[in-house]
Amino acid sequence: MTFYLIITGSDDRTVRLWDCDTGQCIKIFRTHTVADVKFDSKQIITASFDNTAACWDMVTGERVRHYRGHIGAVFTVDYDEEVDVLVTGELEVQGIWC
């Protein structure tokens, strides 16, 4: 059986994992304010209005990495698991994290 999942992030400092078939929230992660989110089966990557990005363990919900260095809110995040690169962006500055 295949499960289709979607993840959402919010100003309420949560990330929610949803079952697309049932429309039910199946897990809530306590994070930071979330402007953008990406995920796979192992991790959740968030961009935040607190000027940081973070990586969260999908199973435990624990933060495993915290990316600091932006001077403004981080509005976008993307990553490539194969080369282990995370790209973040705020209004005028981009960050590349290896």
- For 14-45, the pLDDT digits (tens) are 999 999 999 999 999 999 999 999 998 899 99
pTM: 0.86
- In order, the DSSP letters of 6-42 are EEEE-TTSEEEEEETTT--EEEEEE-S--SEEEE-SS
CATH number assigned to the domain with residue range 5-97, chosen from the 4 options 2.40.10, 1.10.700, 2.40.30, 1.10.287: 2.40.10
Q: CB of 31 within 8 A of CB of 39?
A: no
pLDDT tens digits for range 63-90: 999 999 888 999 999 988 887 888 898 8
Torsions phi, psi of 8, nearest 5?
A: -130, 150
Please determine, for residue 1, whether its predicted confidence score (pLDDT) is greater than 70.
no
Closest to 30 (Cα-Cα) out of 7, 13, 18, 47: 13
For the chain, the domains span 5-97
pLDDT mean across residues, the chain: 90
From CA 85, how far away is CA 31, in angstroms rounded? 21
H or E element in which residue 85 lies: strand 85-89
